[in-house]
Structure 1
């Protein structure tokens, strides 16, 4: 992970902390990312379409920056949910709860510890779930979800073939989170077992069903004109 973050810094990507090494107690030391996490209390910051588009462009900048990254030969990644494919080192958790915003000045993604082999679309499908958001929960469900989906895809610069491939992946990526929490809870692994007992698994399942039932809607939004 340190090699990844060092690479991002060296190629000019500034929306991530920079590793400073290991201290005398064996702790990782990173630069401090100023600002506040967007989710949930500051999610309104992303309501305007231009700010949602900014998130998508930030993710595109990261994906472009990491494209030529060569991991160390002895690299070991803490991948919680294996991706469908592996053409880049993906963040794996691009979501509002990992976006720190210092007003409109500086935005950065944190929590890179589960980064690992994945694909652009794997990252994007997860990001769209959180940033649109694509949710069945009454508090977060959007009547303009299809419009926001299109804004995100346009700002990222997705090609038509990528959009077609993305539509079914939206539901599968979301359901993968439910399945992961279920399996970890069955094994008694923390903190996942606690999250499962608190109902997070039900939330991910409901969101997956909501997304899967509306695939035609998402396809129209992404592929229209």
Structure 2
């Protein structure tokens, strides 16, 4: 039965069935929902508040999460990421999450929605740390949403994807940053990447971006929605173009990252 006060929430590429009721968000569930709720509960128990807190399942079988107030920054408020200090804040927030999840023990029967197999498995990663999943209310209240794709991954896999979106490492003339190398360094410094991690990260930047192109291509070939629609709209071309741009500039990225690296 539909609540009279349901407010459909739009934005992003996968938002069908997502509604707000008061101070909660209701979303469709999947086999991965119990594991994701265990993850989110752990994060709050160890003091990481920049993620929704789960409240269980409602009478319609939807998951219930605390509503995170604010605006998703992509695309209309992406200018919030332009100052280096804001970009650094995102990097530190991601580091805080990675540190908070480090001692999380997944339930023995955990099932994760593995859309794209990750390189590495040292943590349970978010796997979609991007501007379209960052909600900003004010200087002190930032949060990442949409944790459904969380699952085994690595810090560097998460960081490589986040750098693509937040710097951004884009081939599109409307989004390509003229100081991308400097912003890459700011992000790495704020996160606290050691020199050895930076050397391993640079090749990951292109591979992580290409994985998105390949995922959309494969899902479109199977007619799986909403990915087939996104492929038809040109998202695959955008990910391929970004991959080629990133790979062509690898020497530039490496130089920028090593200029300020901490040896480890």
Q: TM-score range by the shorter chain?
A: over 0.9
- In the alignment, what sits opposite 1:62? 97
Bigger share in helix: 1
Match of 1:32 in 2: 67
1:181-217 residue CA offsets vs partner (Å, 9 max, x unmatched) = 0000000000000000000000000000000000000
Residue 176 of structure 2 aligns with which residue?
A: 141
Cα distance in 2 between the residues matched to 1:114 and 1:45: 25
Matched, 1:117 2:152: yes
* Inter-partner Cα distance in structure 2 for 1:48 and 1:172: 27
Query: Which digits, 9 at most, give the CA deviation of each residue in 1:57-96, with x for residues without a partner?
Result: 0000000000000000000000100101101000000000
1:203 corresponding residue in structure 2: 238
The structure 2 residue matched to 1:192, chosen from 209, 227, 237, is 227
Measured against aligned partners, the alpha-carbon deviations of 1:112-158 in whole angstroms (never above 9, x if no partner) come to 00000000000000000000000000011011000000000000000
The 2-side partners of 1:205 and 1:104 are apart by 34
Task: Report the CA distance between 1:103 and its aligned residue.
Answer: 2.4
Q: Distance in 2 between matches of 1:25 and 1:143?
A: 48
| Residue of structure 2 aligned with 1:159, choices 180, 194, 198 | 194
Which residue of structure 1 aligns with residue 165 of structure 2?
Answer: 130
RCO higher in 1 or 2 (8 Å CA, sep ≥ 6)? Answer: 1
TM-score (normalizing by structure 2): 0.85
Name the residue aligned to 1:20.
55
Counterpart mapping for 1:18-97 below 5 A: 18-97=53-132
Q: CA RMSD in A?
A: 0.5
Q: Find the residue that maps to 1:34 and give its secondary structure.
A: coil
In structure 2, C-alpha distance between the alignment counterparts of 1:79 and 1:59, rounded to whole Å: 20
What is the CA distance between 1:26 and its match in structure 2?
1.1
Unaligned stretches of 5+ in structure 2?
Answer: 1-35
Give 5+ residue unaligned stretches, structure 1.
Answer: none
Structure with the greater alpha carbon radius of gyration: 2
Q: Partners in 2 of 1:176 and 1:25 — Cα distance? A: 35
TM-score between the two structures when normalised by the length of structure 1: 0.99
Question: What is the CA-CA distance between 1:105 and the residue it aligns to?
Answer: 2.7
In 2: Cα distance, 1:93 partner to 1:134 partner? 15
1:20 match: secondary structure? strand
Task: Give the corresponding residue for 2:248.
Answer: 213
C-alpha distance in structure 1 between counterparts of 2:144 and 2:169, whole Å = 20
